[in-house]
Chain A
Amino acid sequence: MTDAPVISCRNAWKLFGPNPKQYLAQMSPGRSYEDIRADGYIAGVKDVTVDVGRGEMLVIMGLSGSGKSTLVRCLSRLHDITGGTIEVEGQDIMALPEKELIELRRSKMGMVFQSFGLLPHRTVLENIAFPLEMRGQDRHTRRERALEVINLVGLEGREDYFPRELSGGQQQRVGIARSLAIEPDIWFLDEPFSALDPLIRREMQDEFLRLQEMLGKTIVFITHDFDEALRLADRIAIMKDGAVEQCDTPDKIVLDPQTPYVRKFTEEIEKARVVHANVLAGPVNGAEIIGEPVPGHHTIQQLARQLVNDQRDQLPVADKDGKITGIMPRQKALDLLLGDASDG
């Protein structure tokens, strides 16, 4: 994550209405969503600035109508933005002519859709091979690669089925496989699991995490489900009325919500399940290290039993290699686990 961001979005605007470009140009700064709406425009994306680093998973979270789907469509240039810039791998995508845009999508981008977006007249194999066919690969290599991804998503033996012969979960596996067929660097997922029932959704999330562990792609993931966001994200961007309210790691969002809107979301969340030990830890600053360290990548909830039983006031925290990275006050962790003493 040290090198330049893969996607860099600067002050992006997307307005819907009769004459958006002109309106944006003459609009006085600081107009709210409601003001803009009163002028006859809808701010789908409102002055958004986010970066996505290489190999990072950014989850965009928001309720329906918050503009998260619009934002991801701007990042993939399915929508043309009204103002600002979006750069992918250092290229301004708004400046790309049609041919190069097509080339970019054929080589670098994959996208998964909420209601799958499968072509009904093509078999599973043909659907998955579709992007390869579009870029003109021959039948044989197409088939070989498609079978590879079919195995990857666990659809062996269903190659010749048609989409309507599959269950929702299986259809989304096809959608995922199709988006992976060209080995994209950037992977957009637009509420991929929202149309699935809760049990399947959970299973697909696990599957997704497994895939990501293997592939390590740069991901923009859209969801309206806060739990899903916490579960998957490296960073979460919470959107409301087209604007990003806060963009941070899950721990920070839970511990330190920046706006009342974000706070409302986090209130109901069991913080101990989200916050990791290394986030609560302060610097060692030469303090004495007593006893065995706790693993920093565990959540407070995972450490709950130890926290209750341990007698130490200050617990050393170690990273995955066993190196001490900081010291966590036990009381702070217990407060998080049990709620503040003042809460009763």
Chain B
Amino acid sequence: MADIATSSDPKATAQRGTGLRAMLEDQTVARRVFWGLLGIAALLTVLRPWLPDGLVRIPEVLLLPWRDWIDAAFQLIAFDLGFIHVTRFLSGILEFVLDAVANILYGRARWPRFEAVPWTVIASGAAILGYALGGWRLALLAGGTFVWAALIGQWKWTMETMSVIVVAAPLGFVIGGLVGIWCWKSKRVEDTVKPLLLVMQVMPFFSYLLPAVIFFKVGPTAATVATVAYSLPPMILMTTLGLKKVSPEVVEAGKMAGCSRWQMLRYVYLPSARTEILVGLNQVIMLCLAMVVLTAAIGMPGLGAKLLEAMGSFKLGRSFEIGVTIVLLAVVLDRLSKAWVVKQPEHYEKGTPWWQRNFLPLLGVAAFVLFLVLSRMASGMDPVPLVVSPMSEFNLPTWIAGVADEVHRKESLSQGREFDQSIKAFLALDWLQATTYAIRFVVNNYFLVPTEKALLFLPTLSVILAVTAIAYRLGGVTPGILAFVFFCIVAQLGYWDRAMLTLHSVFMATFIALAFGVPMAIFAVRKEKRARVMILLCDTFQTFPSYVYLLPAVMLFGISPVTVIISILIYTMVPVVRYTVEGLRNVPPELTEAADMSGATRWQKLTKVQLPLAMPTIAVGLNQALVFAFFMVIIAEFIGTRDLGQEMRRTLAGTNLGWNFVLGFSVVFMALTFDIAINAWAEKRRKILGLA
């Protein structure tokens, strides 16, 4: 009822009142302004050879000293106001917790100075947890992953990575949840936090790392802080969303039961928002894993560091094995947390004995004791190779004793070297080399190089005007103004050419992703089963930490600009395909049936009915693809780029926060421009189509 009231006349007239804005919202005017802006941009480009340098790029003297300002602000906050003492104190606490966890997981010599928990205990624990949440298959997957990590000889690295996740994920969950509750309680807080989250989501990860290092000490503490910060936005959003969605009748039932405010939150709201809150937790865990491996850039040991090292020295076999571990870990964490989301409580029949009600916890305790004792008995014995040859020497008790405590690197099943050779042999095959070389050559020389040159050739003002025109045409007046302001800021920040290189990689990769992804999705939705397989594939790929996408690209294309594009491309393809499939699949069946009955051919049906209706959803996918691309293009620095990412990586070596942030915000403002424009367009379309 209330919504009818708010959407009544006064507001509408108020909007009509502001003359210029209303005029610019008008369709015909919009078209003229759009072409006008593009025309000026084109004119400037054509005239470029005759333009004075000052009009092509902003002259150095006119650039404001942003770096110094940010540094000064940082100095003020950190040292003059003493904020750094607060963070150093906090990092002391955090370090203590991390050390304790590290001691338990891999025996780091810190309090409480236990020996490391044997891998058999963790693997069996994971299996039992998997069984409790999702049955046999999940048990096998969860247990199997840890068995794999142990047997392949990556146990310690895996535990190093896990030790950060074990601390970071609960922290992100709690902090994000609390902020989420606060946002839900207070509209003003929500209005402040929402735009901040938007910025946080497009901020390059390197801009999280440097402040974390400066404020929280290099190593696991900084890695944890950066990871937690990066994982917050989805948790906050999901918590607020979940609390808002609680059915009003449940709320009223709580009130009529005489709940106090605290009781309402504790017993009514939070349990009812369980699903969304747990989805938030799932996202936190996945982001934590994705980020922890990236913190290798600031010297965090673990799987990420080893992968970076192996890729750096082109040890493809070893890289591949580590990549598999990371992916398995991602899939396990994802499946476990998702299984928890859908897990619904079920009642036991009356008269079930207590041991049956508590069967799984009991089994867990039993496994813990059994494997712990086994490993303690075995710890004194000599290590035994996992694969015993010849078989005649095989003696089960000694073998068990040999592996029950620890699988040493030398005895592990790792086939890194052999695998490396076979991968390299495969890559050396003539036809494969010829193909990848041809792709590299064509893409590079006929596609990347010319477009890159063109983009760098454009005068700064042309780019700004063109982007403004597009954002205005897509999203309307506000996105247009924001685009203009944001790109002016990017120009002002003083890394225009590098920014253009970044933008170039992002655009090229997203363009190719669209060119391949959309047809793929269209092909997939023709059969319901195929569509479901596609969604499942996308969901699985989406759980992979972004970092591992570098691997196949490097394997196939070596170190080259094409590799950068390819790795971004693989990563951005996932949302493009996913959202296109979703969009096409959710076209109401009455509409396609109506098209069929009107005698539409398959092509007509696709272009006149399905695609137009799916467009808003596809746009959301495109938007996500762009955000992903902006993220990945910075990460791709690990392969070697010449854009903002490369410069940002350099900042990590020092303490120059101003430099880092100037680069980071160049990315933020570019990404935000497209994010805002595309979202505004999708929203508008949805309203027009009556889908909102």
Contacts and interface: CB of A to CB of B under 8 A. Distances in A.
Interface of A: 16-18, 40-42, 44, 65, 70, 73, 76, 78, 102-103, 105-107, 109-111, 113-123, 130-131, 133-135, 157, 160-162, 164-165, 175, 178-179, 182, 188
A106 B6 CA distance: 35
A115 B247 contact: yes
A294 to B, nearest CB: 44
Interface stretch (B255-263, B416-424, B501-509, B658-666): B255-263
Contact of B348 (A17, A130, A160): A160
B5 A111 contact: no
Contacts of A164: 344
A73 B258 contact: no
Contact of B259 (A18, A44, A78, A102): A102
B347 A117 contact: no
A16 B5 contact: yes
Contacts of A110: 256
Nearest to A160: B347
Nearest to B270: A121
Contacts of A41: 5
Nearest to A124: B347
Contacts of B4: 42
A282 B424 CA distance: 108
Contacts of B256: 76, 78, 105, 109-111, 131, 179, 188
Interface in B228-261: 247, 249-250, 252-260
B274 interface: yes
Contacts of A78: 252, 255-256
B1 A42 contact: yes
A117 B5 contact: no
A106 B258 contact: yes
A107 B257 CA distance: 9
A40 B255 contact: no
B8 interface: yes
A182 to B, nearest CB: 8
A113 B253 contact: yes
A117 B250 contact: yes
A117 B1 contact: no
A162 B345 contact: yes
Contact of B252 (A111, A122, A135, A161): A111
B253 A42 contact: no
Interface of B: 1-2, 4-6, 8-10, 247, 249-250, 252-260, 263, 267-268, 271-272, 274, 344-348, 350
B249 A18 contact: no
Contacts of B345: 121, 123, 162
Nearest to A122: B271
A40 B8 contact: yes
Q: Give me the 7 closest cross-chain CB pairs, A-B, nearest first.
A: A106-B258, A117-B253, A117-B249, A131-B257, A160-B347, A105-B258, A111-B256
A179 to B, nearest CB: 8
B249 A116 contact: yes
A182 B259 CA distance: 13
Contact of A118 (B8, B10, B253): B253
B249 A165 contact: no
A42 B5 contact: yes
Given A44-B1, A161-B347, A121 B9 contact: no
B5 A120 contact: no
A118 B268 CA distance: 10
Contact of B347 (A18, A120, A123, A178): A123
Contacts of B2: 16-17, 42
A119 B347 contact: no
Given A18-B5, A119-B253, A134-B258, 15 more contacts: A17-B2, A65-B1, A76-B256, A105-B255, A105-B256, A105-B257, A105-B258, A106-B258, A109-B256, A113-B249, A114-B249, A117-B253, A118-B253, A121-B345, A122-B271
Contacts of A107: 258
Nearest to B5: A17
B412 to A, nearest CB: 44
Contacts of A18: 5-6
B345 to A, nearest CB: 5
B252 A160 contact: no
A81 to B, nearest CB: 15
9 contacts: A40-B10, A42-B2, A42-B5, A44-B1, A106-B257, A107-B258, A118-B250, A162-B345, A179-B256
A110 B267 CA distance: 18
B346 A162 contact: yes
Contacts of A42: 1-2, 4-5
A284 B249 CA distance: 52
B255 A134 contact: no
Contacts of A182: 258
Contacts of B8: 40
A162 B271 contact: no
A165 B345 CA distance: 10
Contacts of A115: 247, 249
A186 to B, nearest CB: 11
Contacts of A188: 256
A135 B347 contact: no
Contacts of B9: 40
Q: Which of A116, A157, A188 has the most CB of B within 10 A?
A: A116
A73 B258 CA distance: 14
Contacts of A70: 1
Nearest to A44: B1
B274 A121 contact: yes
B255 A117 contact: no
Contacts of B268: 119
A80 to B, nearest CB: 12
Nearest to B268: A119
Nearest to A43: B1
A280 to B, nearest CB: 41
B258 A131 contact: yes
B272 A119 contact: yes
Nearest to B253: A117
Contacts of A175: 253
Contact of B250 (A17, A44, A119, A160): A119
B250 A16 contact: no
A121 B258 contact: no
Given A42-B1, A123-B347, A102 B253 contact: no
A17 B6 CA distance: 7
B350 A160 contact: yes
Contacts of A157: 350
A160 B346 CA distance: 9
A179 B268 CA distance: 16
A16 B249 contact: no
Nearest to B352: A160
Nearest to B4: A42
Contact of B257 (A40, A65, A178): A178
B367 to A, nearest CB: 28
A81 B345 CA distance: 40
A188 B345 CA distance: 30
B10 to A, nearest CB: 6
A67 to B, nearest CB: 9
A113 B5 contact: no
A16 to B, nearest CB: 5
Contacts of A161: 347
A133 to B, nearest CB: 8
B6 A119 contact: no
A12 to B, nearest CB: 16
A106 B255 CA distance: 9
Contact of A119 (B260, B271, B344): B271
Contact of B258 (A16, A119, A135): A135
Q: Which of A107, A116, A120, A175 has the most CB of B within 10 A?
A: A120
A165 B271 contact: no
Contacts of A162: 344-347
A107 B536 CA distance: 52
B252 A134 contact: no
Contacts of A73: 252
Given A17-B5, A123-B347, A113 B252 contact: yes
Contacts of A102: 258-260
